[in-house]
Amino acid sequence: MGKTFWMLVTTQENLDITRSRGFSMQGVDTQNRKKAVRMGPEDRVLYYVSDKKGFAATATVTSDSFEDEERIWKHHREKEVFPHRVELSADVVLDETDYIDGYQVGPTLEYVKKWPPHLWPHAFYGMLHIIPQRDFIFVEAELRRAGGIAPPPVEATVPIVEVPVATEVVAVANLAGVSNGSATRYSHSLNEARKKFLALARTRRNRSHRRRIQRRR
């Protein structure tokens, strides 16, 4: 399975706790257990700070999900200890003064289009959300820009031999941040569509040729 892109909604207090621990681990509350147990290595996490209404950081998951009852983060429910956890590696982390304004970026995201325009903040309710890859890449690019951080190097393209145009598709997909696996699948689909188109074109040419012969007779 390909990696999943998550948006994790937290408070400034709990983000500071995660930051103080070097973004080495993140816990998820019990209400989001079904999602949390799906987290795994190479998944990406985007942090949204609810009380600051801003995007603050990104990180990469480096472990499978596990449970731990050690009390680390704060919650208004005493029994909540955010037991569903993963290990992390920080990618982009901004100071509070540099957060990306959620009210400017939020309404433009593909993910929030599931809600009516006037209710887009509802997309940020709850702690853990799966978001489209393009949303993640866009916000992370904005975080890098705000923090003066250079963009990551572009991954090597996947060579496609069957149809030359497919290689171009893979190259463009990589530049857009799409995984090599997704680009390969897209290229395969393009090859199949091209074959069907060529077969249809040959059929139409043959029919046209037969009609011309019949008219001559």
pLDDT of the chain, 217 residues: tens digit per residue: 569 999 999 999 999 999 999 999 999 999 999 999 999 999 999 999 999 999 999 999 999 999 999 999 999 998 999 999 999 999 999 999 999 999 999 999 999 998 988 888 889 999 999 999 999 999 999 999 999 988 877 654 444 444 344 444 444 444 444 445 544 454 454 455 555 545 555 555 555 445 544 544 4
* Residue 169 and residue 118 in one domain: no
Cα angle 90, 110, 174; round to 5: 60
* Residue 186 and residue 130 in one domain: no
Q: What domain range includes position 186?
A: 164-216
* Residue 172 and residue 71 in one domain: no
Flag whether 157 is in a domain.
Answer: no
Last residue of a domain, one of 147, 172, 199: 147
Question: Nearest to residue 29, comparing CAs of 59, 71, 91?
Answer: 71
* Residue 55 and residue 86 in one domain: yes
Last residue of a domain, one of 103, 122, 147: 147
* Residue 72 and residue 132 in one domain: yes
Question: Nearest to residue 45, comparing CAs of 30, 62, 24, 60?
Answer: 60
Rounded-to-integer distance, Cα 37 and Cα 31, Å? 12
Rounded-to-integer distance, Cα 11 and Cα 179, Å? 31
Query: CA torsion 109→16→62→146, rounded to 10°?
Result: 40
What are the two backbone dihedrals, phi and then psi, of residue 72, each rounded to the nearest 5 degrees?
A: -125, -50
Look at the pTM and tell me if it is higher than 0.85. Answer: no
* Residue 108 and residue 211 in one domain: no
Structural domains counted in the chain: 2
Flag whether 185 is in a domain.
Answer: yes
100 contacts 55 by C-beta, under 8 angstroms:
yes
Flag whether 154 is in a domain.
Answer: no
